[in-house]
Amino acid sequence: MTLDMIANGLSGCALVIAVYIGQWEGCMFGLVLWYNEKNQNGLVWCEDQGPLACICQKNTILEDLETLRQGQLIRCKVAKRDGIRTVLIVSEVEKDIPSEVLREILTRKRTNFGKSSLQVVA
């Protein structure tokens, strides 16, 4: 699905309205921190380092993507809807090289690394 198709369809209304009223935040890189494939909901950290953006099944369009994965690097278009920062459109980043490392960091099991080395010195 392309931007032209969206702008011509009903689902594009929110996008057009967001651009018109000035809530459109533009296109930026994002990192999928969490994604539930069954519910198609998730959270994205955006490169502008603002509040986390929500991926919502009813509001987010995956452009040329079947699904998202935790740790995936994406390009996203974000707008504020009902006071919540929402991802409107997601597209894949070519040569998604860093995603494997990021995915490993995000999904790694946390273990106790032994005795803490922190000391109170004051």
The phi, psi pair for 20, rounded to 5°, reads -65, -45
Burial classification of residue 8, based on how many CB atoms lie within 10 Å of its CB (0-12 exposed, 13-18 middle, 19 or more buried): exposed
Question: Is pLDDT of 2 > 60?
Answer: no
Average pLDDT over residues 84-113: 72
| 49/4 Cα distance (integer angstroms) | 29
In which band, very low, low, confident or very high, does the pLDDT at 21 lie, cut at 50, 70 and 90? Answer: very low
pLDDT of residue 15: 42
Q: Which amino acid is present at 101?
A: V
* Most confident segment among 28-37, 61-70, 90-99: 28-37
Percent of the chain, pLDDT > 90? 18
Average pLDDT over residues 66-89: 89
Average pLDDT over residues 12-30: 54
Question: Is pLDDT of 14 > 80?
Answer: no
The domain 3-106 belongs to what CATH superfamily?
Nucleic acid-binding proteins (2.40.50.140)
